[in-house]
């Protein structure tokens, strides 16, 4: 199943949307499929920029957990991979 298909399948379980920025300066490889690995979240839009070993993914992500819990969860998910993650709440979808 492709990342887009997984995201569409998960949309029925989401109540919130957040903006996410992930930065990598040499941790695990960061690319357009990286956020697809995050459980319980669906990427609706993303942009990837890369220069040398540095990479940045900016994305709009839908998720079911409350924004504070999602922020803590995705920051830990990124930390394990050697990435820095910033999250901003967008809107409540419910």
Backbone dihedral angles phi then psi of residue 70, each to the nearest 5 degrees: -60, -45
In this prediction, residue 4 carries a pLDDT of 47
In this prediction, residue 92 carries a pLDDT of 60
In this prediction, residue 79 carries a pLDDT of 95
Yes or no: say if 5 and 79 are a contact pair by the CB < 8 Å rule: no
- Give all domains of the chain, ordered by start, each with its CATH number: 3-92 (3.30.70.260)
Report the distance separating Cα 59 and Cα 62, nearest Å.
10
Span 29-43, pLDDT tens digits: 999 999 999 999 999
SS3 65: coil
Confidence band, pLDDT 50/70/90 cuts, at residue 10:
very low
Span 41-94, pLDDT tens digits: 999 999 999 999 899 999 999 999 999 999 999 999 999 999 999 999 886 665
pLDDT at residue 16 tops 80:
yes
What is the DSSP annotation of 4-20? HHHHHHHGGG--EEEEE
In this prediction, residue 71 carries a pLDDT of 96
Q: Which residues contact 56 (CB under 8 A, 6 or more apart)?
A: 21, 22, 23, 24, 30, 48, 49, 50
Report the distance separating Cα 40 and Cα 38, nearest Å.
7
């Amino acid at each position: 199943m492709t990342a887009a298909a997984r995201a569409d399948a998960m949309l029925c379980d989401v109540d919130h949307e957040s903006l996410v920025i992930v930065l990598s300066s040499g941790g695990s490889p960061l690319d357009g499929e990286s956020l697809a690995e995050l459980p319980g979240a669906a990427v609706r839009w993303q942009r990837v920029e890369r220069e040398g070993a540095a990479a940045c993914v900016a994305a709009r992500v839908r998720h079911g957990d409350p924004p504070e819990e999602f922020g803590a969860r995705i920051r830990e998910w990124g930390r394990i991979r050697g990435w820095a993650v910033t999250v901003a709440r967008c809107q409540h979808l419910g």
